[in-house]
């Protein structure tokens, strides 16, 4: 009788993991469900770049002058002016560092901007625009004297269709999310602010994310390859751009809490990926003292947690080494020096709304950028008989739906702006147009331009007419003379709970009732993520549908720019919209368990979102990467050129790791080029997408994207660089990224299922 190893027993118990992911033996499922120990915590040295090296030299010199109590003060949070505050050391002019939310704007403050949410920015598929977004965010944080901005977000990635915080992230694909993570990180830190990439790692649902009366928090159990190729992947881009902080997450991961998981912190983040900055806990996510220190946590928030005096005692008795404490303090100070915050950085200008103060205005002209991103991230998914854009003859509009206007009182909590539509225990709550999601990731708008306000501005300019009914489920009378009927609905989500549905009966009924009486019904959806539409999408009177995302404070202007053709839509879906919620299978709902030690097994491995739909041959309603335009495009002249860089299976082990991983992972091995022509009569941008078929992996994976502005008749050549990382899989035996000797298919097109050009790459 064969006795199974513990790892094999775990794999079998989790339900055919090997078969689900194509693994052939138990050695390919290392530590699934159990997180191995990796000690000691690596000591940062600044070897990544001359800037980091200089920062480390200065930090180490300063730390050598500190007492253990002072070092400990740098590693813990204190109550104070900001959401999080580290300890100060006045005798050496080391200030308290100010930490603040959110990833789409400074939360809870006056005279700050409400930027589009991460999921909306991802829908632009435009790295340069995303960089400008990150830089504007950084400028506002810097102007308020905030040292650490808690973002960007790639955790959650979007494993679950109903995940409550998916909207904070950058789409359900690691390459798309990685492009956004890198661009936002660079933008924030170019403004002199420390970015904190979050949440590391596998923070994919809200149910029981923290321990409580029922027991411990949820354990997200995933295998080594899935962890690297899906969930670590986007963080690598932020690390490559020099991110100064990484926030560890609430959940347990393979049964070890995220902020004391030595494999994830010491092993992957600080060793494999050479992280030079500091790891900060999510708020109240520290659940041990000595264990979290030795596992690689550097700063605990929001208060002392298990540290403070306890940490200095642990160093004194040898439970935590003095080298570990020195490294914690050094990492904090090195990051402070790295971003230049020691040289004239503003003092915190963060205030509570209940105290009298002189507010600091940091808005600049960011409203213009917000409006541009709002339009660029709006996705047109249906447009029958050129219902859009409106023409000069479109002067009589009827406007319906709770999402068209601003709520009368969305400020139940002054620091938590509320919008959207909810049904709670049978009571319907109309909170107005949705521009951000709920929880700590939400923004605080200085104002909100609602769709109705912007439509009134345009109607006034055009000497048009509007009729409206915001709250009726079956609006009457029907204004049969209307040129078009606009129906505004939304789908809300928030931190602290997951969604219970991807649709709602009230909104579906509203659309059907309007369409029954209006032959030109246009539906606008502001949503925190996936919103199914099959209850009405095929109604003959529904002529156009727009996924308008979470566009921030200039929401109405961004939308009206699209409706009237001032801007041609170019947004693309950063997730898959199914025909039926059941099409998402096991990736629909969060895991509701009342066990003392709840867990969820990521047995789907690499197959989430469009990868799962491709594998299972399920036809989506709107596929990942899909979006329409007011013009047409033609693709041609595909060419694939080898750069001459090494295509050896593994990287050179003699080359030192830097932040972001082995330097050769970023070597460009092939250039894929093609030409795109605007064959219509409207200036617009096309989002060209490159998908690669990698052996022993999903049938296609996004590996390039470019938003290309084109005038009518104009042709441009674009290039997609393919790096070693882009073409590799994670080898769980060698514990390295492996390039396979095989034939790869490269396809370029307008979505994950509209692929116009195909070519092959051969690696010997």
133 three-state secondary structure: helix
- What are the residues whose beta carbons fall under 8 Å from the beta carbon of 473, sequence distance 6 or more? 506, 509, 510, 513
Secondary element (H or E) of residue 518:
none
Decide: 631 and 678 in contact? Cβ < 8 Å. Answer: yes
| Order of all β-strands in the sheet with 521-527 | 379-383, 542-547, 521-527, 484-491, 396-400, 465-469
Tokens of 644: 């001459």
Alpha helices in 570-674 (DSSP H): 610-615
Angle at 321 between CA 319 and CA 325, to 5 degrees: 115
Between CA 432 and CA 706 the distance in angstroms is 34
Residues forming the active site: 282
SS3 assignment for 68-90? HHHHHHHCEECCCCCCEEECCEH
Tokens of 116: 């589009």
Bond into 389 cis (ω within 30): yes
Among 660, 658, 673, CA closest to 715: 673
Q: How far is CA 413 from CA 17, 354, 436, 437, 442, in A?
A: 45, 12, 15, 14, 12
Between CA 216 and CA 52 the distance in angstroms is 38
Angle at 325 between CA 320 and CA 328, to 5 degrees: 130
Among 414, 105, 440, 388, CA closest to 247: 440
- What are the residues whose beta carbons fall under 8 Å from the beta carbon of 596, sequence distance 6 or more? 214, 215, 216
Between CA 647 and CA 271 the distance in angstroms is 24
Q: Determine phi and psi for 35, rounding to 5 degrees.
A: -95, 120
Among 280, 278, 266, CA closest to 335: 278
Between CA 294 and CA 315 the distance in angstroms is 11
Among 261, 394, 380, CA closest to 622: 380
Q: Which residue has the tokens 């030795």?
A: 294
Between CA 542 and CA 524 the distance in angstroms is 11
Q: Tell the burial category of 319 from Cβ atoms under 10 Å away from its Cβ (0-12, 13-18, 19+).
A: middle
């Amino acid at each position: 009788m064969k006795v199974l190893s513990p790892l094999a027993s775990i794999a079998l118990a989790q339900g055919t993991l090997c078969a689900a992911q194509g693994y052939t033996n138990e050695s390919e499922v290392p530590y699934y469900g159990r997180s191995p120990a990796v000690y000691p915590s690596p000591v940062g040295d600044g070897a990544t770049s001359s800037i980091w090296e200089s920062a480390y030299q200065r930090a180490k010199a300063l730390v050598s002058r500190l007492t253990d109590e002072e070092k400990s003060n740098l590693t813990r949070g204190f109550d104070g002016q900001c959401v999080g505050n580290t300890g100060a050391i006045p005798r050496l002019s080391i200030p308290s560092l100010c930490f603040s939310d959110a990833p789409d704007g400074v939360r809870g403050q006056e005279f700050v901007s409400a930027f589009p949410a991460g999921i909306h920015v991802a829908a632009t598929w435009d790295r340069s625009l995303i960089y400008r977004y990150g830089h504007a965010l950084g400028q506002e944080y810097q102007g308020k004297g905030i040292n650490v901005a808690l973002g960007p977000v790639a955790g959650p990635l979007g494993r679950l269709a109903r995940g409550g915080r998916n909207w904070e992230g950058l789409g359900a694909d690691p390459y798309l999310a990685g492009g956004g993570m890198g661009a936002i990180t660079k933008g924030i830190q170019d403004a002199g602010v420390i970015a904190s990439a979050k949440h590391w790692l596998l923070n994919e649902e809200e149910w029981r994310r923290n321990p409580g009366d029922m027991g411990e928090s949820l354990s997200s159990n995933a295998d080594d390859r899935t962890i690297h190729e899906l969930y670590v992947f986007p963080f690598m881009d932020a690390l490559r751009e020099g991110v100064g902080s990484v926030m560890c997450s609430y959940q347990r991961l393979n049964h070890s809490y995220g902020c004391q998981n030595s494999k994830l912190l010491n092993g992957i983040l600080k060793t494999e990926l050479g992280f030079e900055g500091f790891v900060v806990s999510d708020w109240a996510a520290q659940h041990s003292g000595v264990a979290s220190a030795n596992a690689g946590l550097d700063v605990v928030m929001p208060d002392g947690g298990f540290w403070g005096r306890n940490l200095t005692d642990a160093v004194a008795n040898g439970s935590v080494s003095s080298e570990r404490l020195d490294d914690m303090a050094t990492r904090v100070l090195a990051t402070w020096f790295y971003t230049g915050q020691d040289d004239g950085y503003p003092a915190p200008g963060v205030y509570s709304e209940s105290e009298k103060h002189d507010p600091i205005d940091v808005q600049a002209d960011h409203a213009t950028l917000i409006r541009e991103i709002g339009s660029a991230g709006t996705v047109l998914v249906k447009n029958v008989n050129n219902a859009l854009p409106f023409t000069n003859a479109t002067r009589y509009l009827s406007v319906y739906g709770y999402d068209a206007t601003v709520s009368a009182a969305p400020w139940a909590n002054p620091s938590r702006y509320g919008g959207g539509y909810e049904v709670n225990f049978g009571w319907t709550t109309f909170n107005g147009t949705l521009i951000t999601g709920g929880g700590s990731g939400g923004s605080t708008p200085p104002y909100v331009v609602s769709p109705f306000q912007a439509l009134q501005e345009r109607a006034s300019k055009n000497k048009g007419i509007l009729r409206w009914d915001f709250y009726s489920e079956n609006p009457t009378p029907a204004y049969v003379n209307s040129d078009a009927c606009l129906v505004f609905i939304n789908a809300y989500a928030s931190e602290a709970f997951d969604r219970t549905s991807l649709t709602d009966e009230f909104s579906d009924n509203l659309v059907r009732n309007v369409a029954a009486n209006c032959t030109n019904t246009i539906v606008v959806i502001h949503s925190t993520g996936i919103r199914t539409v099959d209850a009405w999408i095929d109604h003959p009177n529904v002529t156009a549908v727009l996924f308008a995302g979470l566009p921030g404070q200039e929401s109405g202007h961004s939308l009206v720019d699209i409706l009237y053709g001032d801007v041609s839509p170019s947004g693309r879906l950063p997730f898959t919209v199914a025909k039926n919620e059941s099409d998402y299978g096991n990736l629909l709902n969060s895991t509701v368990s009342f066990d003392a030690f709840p867990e969820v097994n990521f047995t789907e491995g690499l197959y989430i979102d469009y990868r799962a739909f491709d594998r299972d041959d399920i036809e989506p309603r709107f596929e990942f990467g899909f979006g329409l335009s007011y013009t047409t495009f033609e693709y041609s002249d595909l060419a694939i050129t080898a750069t001459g860089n090494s295509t050896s299976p593994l990287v050179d082990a003699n080359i030192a790791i830097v932040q972001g991983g082995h330097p050769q992972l970023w070597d460009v091995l092939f250039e894929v080029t093609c030409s795109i022509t605007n064959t219509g009569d409207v200036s617009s941008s096309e989002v060209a997408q490159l998908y690669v078929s990698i052996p022993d992996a999903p049938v296609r994976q996004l590996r390039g994207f470019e938003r290309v502005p084109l005038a009518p008749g104009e042709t441009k050549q674009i290039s997609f660089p393919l790096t070693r990382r882009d073409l590799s899989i994670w080898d769980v035996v060698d514990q390295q990224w492996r390039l396979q000797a095989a034939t790869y298919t490269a396809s370029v097109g307008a979505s994950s299922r509209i692929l116009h050009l195909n070519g092959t790459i051969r690696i010997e």
